[in-house]
Amino acid sequence: MFRQSTSRTVFQSLGMSLLLFCGSLSSSSLLFFHKNNVFASAAGASGTQKFKRDIGDDCSDLTSEACIREIITIQKCPIACSELLEEPGTIARTSDSEIYQQRVTKQDGKQITLEEYEGYITLFVVIPLVPNAQYYYELVEHVHEIFPFTVEIMILPISVVDDNEYDAAEIIPQANSKVTFLKHEERTDFMIYLSESEVFGGEDNLREFANDRASIYIISSNGQFVERMVAPKLIDLEKRIIVYLQQLDPTFLEL
């Protein structure tokens, strides 16, 4: 696995750069090389169209309810459903001196600290257990295939706390799953910790909770920044990860 050493000075201008880089990158870029290191892989490209193209005949006539209630709908119409479900993003500064002291509980009950993810871009993915849960799980597994050396992923499956009308669902992990499943809980101390970060860009909605779609928290490799995306398109999630990769080393060659 790749670990990138960083100093505080390297990231002093990252906050502004994150805002300036948004939307400025090529969506077709899947390979990044720096000297002898491969930071992202084309190995994940084969399944990309599954998440980047609508194949349903009625994708233009969908409702958000259909995208939540019927997994086949979001699988056939990932772009249309994301446009219905996505919410404005948020960028914030964490208490970086404390983030790696935070603890999470894995599915097997073992507690780990976030120190295990220091040096990696970390995705903390909160997935409510409603019918579209499996889609979001498969989406982030695919992200790990694209960025196998620099991105680590934790998934927190949660029960929907209010009395909504959606059927309960479960996530079925792939046999070769590369993500870490956390203990099934409604809320965690780590979620609360992230929600208290200092917002400096986007919507001030870190304390809000989406109970019918995935929330993806991108944590920078030095732990200083967290970005929240709700029900994003794969192409948009890739772009944001690429921004953090380029901030690790500005001499990346984009192919």
CA distance 109 to 154: 14
We report the CATH number of the domain holding residue 16 as 3.40.30.10
Scanning the structure block, which residue is given the tokens 């976030």? Answer: 114
pLDDT digits 0-9 by tens, 27-72:
333 444 443 345 555 445 455 678 989 998 899 999 999 999 999 9
Name the DSSP class of 201.
E
Sign, CA torsion 7/13/19/24: negative
The answer to the question of residue 31 being in a domain is no
Structure confidence at residue 118 (pLDDT) = 93
Scanning the structure block, which residue is given the tokens 């970005």? Answer: 227
pTM of this structure:
0.83
Hey, what are 108's tokens? Answer: 């097997």
Hey, what are 233's tokens? Answer: 């398109």
The answer to the question of residue 3 being in a domain is no
> Please, what's the b/e burial string for 130-160 (b: 16 or more CB within 10 A of its CB; e: otherwise)?
bbbbbbbbbbbbbbbbbbbebbbbbbbbbee
CA distance 234 to 138: 11
CA distance 35 to 99: 31
Structure confidence at residue 15 (pLDDT) = 52
Q: Mutual orientation of helices 14-21 and 234-248 as an angle, nearest 10°?
A: 140
The answer to the question of residue 67 being in a domain is yes
The answer to the question of residue 111 being in a domain is yes
CA distance 27 to 145: 16
Q: Domain limits at 72?
A: 11-21+37-254
Name the DSSP class of 28.
T
Structure confidence at residue 19 (pLDDT) = 52
The answer to the question of residue 181 being in a domain is yes
* Angle ∠(6,9,14) on CA atoms, nearest 5: 85
Structure confidence at residue 210 (pLDDT) = 86
Structure confidence at residue 124 (pLDDT) = 97
Number of domains composing the chain:
1
Structure confidence at residue 122 (pLDDT) = 97
Least confidently predicted of 199-213, 222-236, 238-252: 238-252
Mean pLDDT over each residue of the chain, to the nearest integer: 82
The answer to the question of residue 30 being in a domain is no
